[in-house]
Structure 1
Amino acid sequence: MAPPDHRTEPPHMAPETATLLGFLDFQRQTLEWKCADLEPWQLATRAVPTSELTLLGMIRHLAAVEVGWLVGFCDIPPDIWPDVVRDRDEQFRVDPGTVTAADVASAWATWRAAAAGVHRVVARVSLDASDRPWGRDDVYSLRWILVHLVEEYARHNGHADLIREALDGVTGE
């Protein structure tokens, strides 16, 4: 699998929105690339014995992060969002001895549905729109949330690079 092309233009929209969504999509593509061609047990292998961090756990966690920041945002109907693992510890807790291809497929499907939900919000809401995301006390703009999602992915993609290198020697860009 080739590394993602960060020059890919997102759908036609305002330049600032396209830039933010383009960087978020690039980070998503990078995660997919880091996880490509691995067996379920590899995706469920811990980064280090003292940590629950796994590639499969990151997929589940990032789906929950995207949903968590935008569910209910600006009165977008909640039915656009997939059901995600909400417990942070449970997101990362996977066992390489029992994980199946179906577990992996389910995690990717949920993750893709969460990304599609974000695209739907971006298509409907201005970057300057602000709201209190579900379960949060403070008000955030869509712009702030998208920048935060890019940061969250970038940080976890660094983790993914280290895990992937430990698994099979493959390193990133």
Structure 2
Amino acid sequence: MTAVTTTPKNIIRIDPELAAGERTMLEGWLDYHRTTLAMKCAGLSDEQLRSTPLAPSELSLMGLVRHMTEVERNWFQEVALGAERAPLYFSDADRDGDFHTTEADTWGTAEAAWLEEIARSRTSLAGLGLDDLCVRPDRVTGGRFNVRWILNHMIEEYARHNGHADLLREHIDGATGE
């Protein structure tokens, strides 16, 4: 039986299946971690989502979501498919621009961009097998990633940043837990 968690904002997180095939398992864990990040952001104001309570760190919950938007875009569009996509939040002048939010940045805009990239990621994956090699090679080795590697990396990336989100949320309003 699959466990389901619901938050006050009616975000539903489904635990990955216990005995699924590899593809289902990997996609399940990725969705689990995407939803966990959404849960960490639920119910907070734009000001709280932009806040950086762990000085000297510049991390904010909104910044993490913007970062994961760029990460989704990079791995599933640029690396996997070879698409040329301009960054949404960073530039050569500000390589960490995804983390640098201002009062003009809103959760509605950040969340919409993130959800759009997740939808694009799912579409990108739909036609690819786990062993399919991606278009853009690794910058260091010149080797090509397979889809399995990217899915595992994305799970790791979300899991690491969800740990950051746990700490940020606790410092913002005291909320802890999954």
Q: Does 1:148 align with 2:156?
A: no
Partner residue of 1:89?
96
Question: Unpaired segments of 5 or more residues in structure 1?
Answer: none
SS in 2 for 1:131: coil
Q: What are the residue-to-residue correspondences of 1:51-130 with 2, within 5 Å?
A: 51-73=57-79, 75=81, 78=83, 84-87=88-91, 88-95=95-102, 98-100=103-105, 103-130=106-133
Shift of 1:92: 0.2
Paired residue type of 2:146: S
Shift of 1:94: 1.4
Task: Report % sequence identity.
Answer: 37
Shift of 1:134: 7.2
Structure 1 or 2: larger helix share? 1
Q: Which has the higher contact order (CA 8 A, sep 6+)?
A: 1
Q: What is the Cα-based RMSD across aligned positions, in Å?
A: 2.5
Q: State TM-score, norm by structure 2.
A: 0.80
For the 8 Å contact 2:81–2:135, the answer to whether it is kept is no
Q: State TM-score, norm by structure 1.
A: 0.82
CA distance in 1, matches of 2:69, 2:59: 15
CA distance in 1, matches of 2:12, 2:125: 22
Partner residue of 2:15?
7
Paired residue type of 2:62: L
State the number of aligned residues.
163
Question: Unpaired segments of 5 or more residues in structure 2?
Answer: 1-6
CA distance in 1, matches of 2:104, 2:137: 31
